[in-house]
Structure 1
Amino acid sequence: PYTYVSTTGANVTDVVAPAGDYLPRTEGPAPTPFTLLNGSPVNGNWILRYCDNWGADNGTLFFWNLEFGPSLPRIDAGSINETYSIGPRSATWLTGLGLIDQTQTGNVYTARVSPTVASVYNYRFRVTDSANCVYDTVVRVFANPRPLKSTFNADTIICSNTAATLRVQNVQANTTYNWFLTGNISGTPAGTGANFTTPVLPLQPASVKFYLNAVSNGCNTRDTVSVRILQLVDTPVVTLTNATRFTLTFSWPAVANATGYQISVDGGATFITPNGTNGLSHTVSGLRPYELKNVLVRALGPVACQNSLNARASGRTLVDELFVPNAFTPNADGKNDVWMPYGYLIQDIDLKIFNQWGELVFESRDKTKGWDGTSKGKQQPMGVYVYTLRVNTVDGKVIDKKGSINLVR
């Protein structure tokens, strides 16, 4: 109620309500309170006219500056702000129903709420005016349900240099699906709809994330789906393990996750299954003495797109007794990178190589180990080097040779 106290001898003539009707007249000598407005509407301007003992007609304007709109907006689920500009003695949002906090800036009172369950919530705003009258206003908040978390198809594992198609399996009505390439879902989506085809994905990185924002009735649910790119199995490490006048044998250790191996002896035109044990070696036959042969070897993955890169190796068949090359090119191109003596009848060797100042740069007693052009881990410069070689053959002969080697890069 609003209470007005008139002065001594005042005579109230009439009270005009906002709707135009009048409240009954009354007299109220001080300090009798004037309470004719009890139970009346509080919105709008009120005019109170009264006469004093001398018959003067005095007009006084009373108004309430706390006015709530006739209807309140519908508010969706999530954190919201509701503000009212008022001028009361005190005002507050009543706690409860997921009220997070409230702030006041001047005459603007802001409540931040976050309903946890989809429903209709009534938030109460209480104002106490300067006459200690209390007014409550209810704000109805309609908390809409968020879209369900999406479930996706299982084909999110693909080969490199292909695209994946992502599908939402539990499609919901009245829901918009926006796909993004990054976690920033405020920009332009890369695609819309329940199905999305990714860009073509390279071998690396091995896993790529895509982001889905499902929107319904102003509420959103964010999901992340990962696409895994199948990786290649490791490339085999191929070495020449045996040479005769007419054959070359290449071998390699097993590769993790490989399901088999293939070798090509015609430059990659065709690949065949290796003829060695467990597919870990292959002997090339039908060659001529001192013939050079290049091979390609690849490991097979669980699926074809996981096959390894081709490993390259080369070897030369032996001559009847002993052959010592006069040059080599250790430039890591897989061709003539190692200098060593060849011979079908070699049983063991004693090899030493010197630079032009007579310094020993390489020695070996292993007939399968040649010089790669380095000394103590450092590449040696181009130039002419001198070797001394003693060979014991399988038929008991001892062959001593010395000569020069041209190192070319």
Structure 2
Amino acid sequence: MKKTTSALTFLLLFFSISYSQPCTIPDSFFADDTIVVCQGSTFQLNAPVFPGATYTWSTAEITNPVTVRFNGKYWLDITDGVCSKSDTVVILFNSFLLSPIVSDLKLCKGQPPLPIEVEGQNLHWYTGPIGGIANTGAPSLSTTDTGRATYWFSQTIRGCESPRIPVEVKVIDKPKFDLGEAFIIPCGAAGITLQLVPDGESQYTWSDGTHGVSMLAPGRGSYSVYAENMCGNHRDTVVAVECEDRCVQFPTAFTPNSDGKNDKYQAACFCPVPEYKMVIYNRNGEIVFQTNDPLAGWDGFHKGREQPVGAYIFYSEYFDFILKQSFRRKGSFVLMR
């Protein structure tokens, strides 16, 4: 009877000691409920190590750690002979990581460059869409000349780098163009179309109020175009004449009475005159005025004396800039007071 009592006492003592030991397995095995993993990789899922404990995963594996290759919910049971605990974690392979938010940038030649605006986390930039060295900070931009360059930006979230997205940096200049030399509208033509080569950045306004890169010049006159973009503006003018027109025209009369109107007899020039000569004769054939300057004119005096009213003769030689040939003109005009 004593032996039986002793054995029972030992078993009760054993179970009392066993169940009185504290459970050392924590309630949670994983630091986060959800773990994001970069797409295209594998992940080693680790649990705390307890000597002598057994591990049973939802994948039926009994090792620690286990390799995870797919999205899903994973759970683990840990038993160490004293207690048993279970915890769950979601593994998400991030295939939807967005690229940073970017905007293309335009800069003006010769002006201080503005920074590239990029919104994102842990940004890197590259000089190409794949490969290359990851750079931090901002690219060094130059506006010394026109041109364009492309930079590729990515962001890294929870250790995963996003696809790269391009940013184009374009350096432009203020409008520059030349309408060219004066031109002739052919006889019988409805006009001549004036046209520019657009720079893709400027807005164009012609002297007739139209917009675009061309306009019709229907007849003789002066035509201009004004262009403007973010870097500045430019204007140019061109003269059109008709087929029967001459670059130099001679009036038929003048009135040297000091009233500020037609006080000198001089040619009217509608274009550049690189070569010019004019001689004026009185009715006796005497030279009363001569010049090689198309802007110079006769004031009605000769040798300090006022010349009488009446008819006078002019003779001129000049090079017509538009027609690209030399002309000789002779005619008469009237001095009136």
TM-score by length of 2: 0.37
Considering Cα pairs closer than 8 Å and 6+ residues apart, tell me whether 1 or 2 has the greater RCO: 2
TM-score by length of 1: 0.32
